[in-house]
A = this chain, B = another copy of it.
């Protein structure tokens, strides 16, 4: 069997997330259906680097599937793109070792969260960012985000009620950039718990509002209590930027 790796962009607004669910529009199901039509194989399984939630976007999601089709690998993007909704685009296809698995072999993932910090927000980009009208102190946010770097137990930064045996994750790199009225929060880590980036971003907003001091972050992480962290920011500001292997 050949193993094909895809690089995928999608507009999360139109979908109930990555994962296949009956009777709900989802990204995995939409792409699998197209591949099945192309390869005439009815058991295609598409493995992503990880799920993204309803409304979350991806500029660089990675997924792979096995096939016996002999279609040249460079034909897959256009063939799939012709059969799926325009809110998903396959940007690249590559033939990889049969042992490659998008999730298990993933070493690093980078997410970006976009905040529009202008008074009235944007009409054009309203579904592609989170609008926070109160002026945020970006310097305080930059100081605070550094405390998330390194290996920590992020128990307090996952959606309450979700189980995960091990909530220790390693954050390799963080960055906050200002582009005019927008604040870009970028976090690269070994992996992320459910809603983790949106909760970290919400906590950084509390820092920007002066509700939390940057120096309090280590204590909030150590507490391991979801109630100590900030709100979960909405999905439309979140982008899966890059997956590294």
Contacts and interface: CB of A to CB of B under 8 A. Distances in A.
Interface in A41-76: 57, 59
B120 A128 contact: no
Interface residues of A, number: 23
Contacts of A126: 11, 86-87
B77 A123 contact: no
A32 interface: no
Contacts of A78: 120
A229 interface: no
A124 B57 contact: yes
B120 A11 contact: no
A90 interface: yes
Nearest to A120: B89
Contact of A10 (B9, B57, B123): B123
A120 B74 CA distance: 12
Most buried by B among A59, A90, A124: A124
A81 B124 contact: no
Contacts of A87: 123-124, 126
Interface string A82-113: 00001111110000000000000000000000
B120 A10 contact: no
Interface of A: 9-11, 57, 59, 77-78, 81, 86-91, 118-124, 126, 128
Given A9-B124, A10-B123, A88-B123, 20 more contacts: A9-B122, A9-B123, A10-B124, A11-B123, A11-B124, A11-B126, A57-B124, A77-B119, A77-B120, A86-B123, A86-B126, A87-B123, A87-B124, A87-B126, A89-B120, A89-B121, A89-B122, A89-B123, A90-B120, A91-B118
